[in-house]
Structure 1
Amino acid sequence: MKNLDPKEDLIKSIKVLDDKLSKRQIKLDPKGYFLIKIEPITKELILEHYLNDIDQKGRAIDPESREPIGCKTKSKHEPSNIYRGKSAKQLGIQISEGHGPFPISHLDHAIYIGRELQRAEQCLITGKQYIQD
């Protein structure tokens, strides 16, 4: 039997689509990657930028060990820069406006970071746990 709640149907269809799109092949940004965190004590969003190299297969590799960096790999190196702000918009401006150099070079990466910063901001406001996608 089909669900009669149109809002719930919409939520489910978006989730199915997003799950499918998450499985597509992507090109990593050669300028590095970001880890997004929430600091509940100071009520801030923290955006850590890490440098990496990209191997011939398109994988991010640790500049020192030359080993691939997985999603669950615990980084041993320090971020190249740390950005802090009270909102997603404030952090987005920090990494994309001004004289540069900018820590992001691919449009799809910028859009992803914007989406994730919005999610993190909502978790900061609601007190929910944030886990980066």
Structure 2
Amino acid sequence: MDLMVKDLAKIDRELSQRHIDLDPSGYFIIYLDRAAGLIYAKHFTNVIDERGLAVDPETGKVIPAKGKVERTHTTIFSGRTAKELCVKIFEDRSCVVTQLDHAAYLGREFVRAEVALVTGQEYVQD
């Protein structure tokens, strides 16, 4: 059984390193509010430049993947479960996700966040 868990973790790590095109409609920062029992997803807009990098639409500066960035979100979504959050984001007529791989990524992250919320584990967005 341990071998299977290690194999699955290896597959997951390797797939997390692949290239995916950024969604031109923006990106999400996902976090937990344990006291409220909620998963939050802040949506930020961006523009994709000719190099395929996300840039701040106001400043034109590249948005780094790591580190702190001072930007204002456009919307905050919250839910008690991954499913509730997905319904709010994807079934709204003004859905802010335009790529299927982005939607799939968010669904996986929301499940990870829900598990962390229920189990008390740390959640770090992939």
Q: Which runs of 4+ in 1 moved over 3 A?
A: none
Count of residues in Structure 1 that have an aligned counterpart in Structure 2: 126
1:12-91 aligned at under 5 Å gives the runs 12-91=6-85
TM-score by length of 2: 0.94
* 1:76 match: secondary structure: coil
Structure 1 or 2, whichever has the larger Rg, is 1
Query: Which whole-Å deviations, capped at 9, do the CAs of 1:80-107 have from their partners, x for residues lacking one?
Result: 0001111110000001114x22110100
* 1:110 match: secondary structure: helix
**Number of the residue aligned with 2:3:** 9
Distance 1:18 1:128 in 2: 18
Q: Cα RMSD over matched residues?
A: 1.1
Structure 2, gaps ≥5 residues long: none
* 1:15 match: secondary structure: helix
